[in-house]
Chains A and B, each alone.
Chain A
Amino acid sequence: MLLRPTIDDLRVITYNLARMLLISAAAGLVPLVWAVLTGELAPAADFLVMVGVFSLAGTAGLALKPKHDRLDWRHGMAVVALIWLVVPIIGSIPLILSGNYARWIDAFFDAVSGLTTTGLTVVQDIDHMASSMILWRHILHFLGGQGIIIAALSLFSGAGTATLYFGEGRDDRIYPSVRSTSRFIWLVAAVNGIAGVFALFLVAFLDLGFGALRSFFHAITVFMAAFDTGGFAPQSTSIQYYHSAPYELVIAVLMIAGVMSFGVHFALWRRRSVLGNLETKTILFTFAGTLILTQIGLAVAGAYGTATGLGRQTFFQVLSAHSGTGFSTIPSAELATWGGLAFGGMAIAMALGGMASSTAGGVKALRVGLTVKSIGSQIKQVLLPEGAVISDRFRQNGPRHLTEDLKQGVMAISLLYVALYIFGAGLGLVYHVPLQNALFESVSAAANVGLSVGVTAPGMPASLELTYALQMWAGRLEFISIFALIGLLWSLVRGK
């Protein structure tokens, strides 16, 4: 029997939602200040409107302070699902006002894509977009990847705040308290940020001949998109714009840092080996497998004349796909011509995704490893004599046991991802998108990758655009908090 939420339940949700809206308001001040400093006064006014709406909504929500601010699982999950909807709605205000989007739904789509660290875009003429507007799109990546919840957990403590952390699909608990864990995540981002921005700045300034301010702007935006496995780029041609191997190498390092779970970061900081972890072994194996598939496909098609060219292009594209970043060094039109095994390799890399508790999307390497391990156990059970004891142990930051509950959980989430991929591809077919392209784009949206073969473009059908936005939302939150929100809404109507 579903229990109807009380007024106090709704107040707890609204109050916690309000705190995160105020954090988003603070984040909105960054592009506002940048716009004022660079003389972009019209965008500054747009950001002022957005910050005002965030602040107003946040302050109004704080006024509804509940008697007991204790988050239970239902509250925490609903807050997470709602914040990932409300922030793109308000965050799209400056994008709508910028005039770079034909329809309001396009601006909302880009805001969802930004926050969910996907990187698919329907912006028109980004090459002439105000720099503050470009900065805001990348800050959405940072907010989503790092993100709003982690910021809230670092600043506020309270009973039950751990539910917010788990609601975002994170399950690494590095320190005993979620607050300390959140602070460690910020520390990792800060260290990688300083090193990454400095390296990108140096390459742009010394190798590409950019001016100091331009080098810094590109460094900071590309860092946010790479480390948070987002995929927005400050130019329409993505990373191809730079035509620079050193720039690509720095981005590759940042994508690798982004795809690693914060548990792995912690282990490396403490100089502990992670090579024995099931997740590390799985991701190395799937990266090599998808890379080989893609290379065979392209070699057979004769797409590249030299092994260095083939190696460089496939390394970057497959890493971008597997990490869920979505950066590209080739045009969408060329990617659309990758058929056969090359298409298969890229699609599989996108669908599998990165490590759990990272900013990457997709099924995740740990679930893939556990699925393979449980299939192996089933086969062993059939082949070995009756009564034989089969060890279901695996290593993941220490020895662990593959329990029946864990198996069921892994299978359920993996199947939901597959269903989500098929659902989006099916809708693409309704709009006469060729099967291969429909599948590629659907997987790219649902796994929060952002690579495109040209289906996602200004003027695309609105229902397809909304479906991709829904896929990005569901894929990023790994379903559970969305089901919890639906359950809460249902209990409002039918609860006792």
Chain B
Amino acid sequence: MRPRPAPRERLYRITTGALVTIAIEFGVAILLFIGAVLIAQLVMFLAS
């Protein structure tokens, strides 16, 4: 059985894991939004 990590290490893992996840969620939202606007431009151009 693997030993349980020290409290400081656990806190470090949780904090960095949380920050990475939130950064990725934010990045995905921004990319999807930019993608939506770019597709909208193309769609409006083709529909005009």
Residues A255-306 near B (CB distance < 8 A): 256-257, 260, 265, 268-271, 287-288, 291-292, 295-296, 299-300
Contact call A192/B22, Cβ cutoff below 8 A: yes
Contact call A268/B32, Cβ cutoff below 8 A: no
Contact call A191/B22, Cβ cutoff below 8 A: yes
Q: Chain A interface residue count: which class?
A: 20 to 34
CB of B10, distance to nearest CB on chain A (Å): 11
A287 to B39, CA, bound (A): 13
Q: Which residues of B contact A256 (CB under 8 A)?
A: 25, 28-29, 32
CB of A186, distance to nearest CB on chain B (Å): 12
Contact call B41/A191, Cβ cutoff below 8 A: no
User: Given A269-B21, A296-B47, are A249 and B33 also a contact pair (CB < 8 Å)?
Assistant: yes
A300 to B26, CA, bound (A): 31
A214 within 8 Å of B (CB atoms): no
A7 within 8 Å of B (CB atoms): no
A319 within 8 Å of B (CB atoms): yes
Main secondary structure of the interface of A (DSSP, over half): helix
B11 within 8 Å of A (CB atoms): no
Binding site for B on A (CB under 8 A): 187-188, 191-192, 195, 249, 252-253, 256-257, 260, 265, 268-271, 287-288, 291-292, 295-296, 299-300, 307-308, 310-312, 314-315, 318-319
Binding site for A on B (CB under 8 A): 14, 17-18, 20-22, 24-26, 28-30, 32-33, 35-41, 43-44, 46-47
User: Given A253-B25, A308-B37, A314-B36, are A269 and B47 also a contact pair (CB < 8 Å)?
Assistant: no
The chain B residue with its CB closest to the CB of A270 is B17
Further contacts, 15 of them, CB under 8 A, given A249-B29, A270-B17: A252-B29, A252-B33, A253-B29, A256-B32, A271-B17, A287-B32, A291-B39, A295-B36, A299-B40, A299-B44, A300-B47, A307-B40, A307-B44, A312-B36, A315-B33
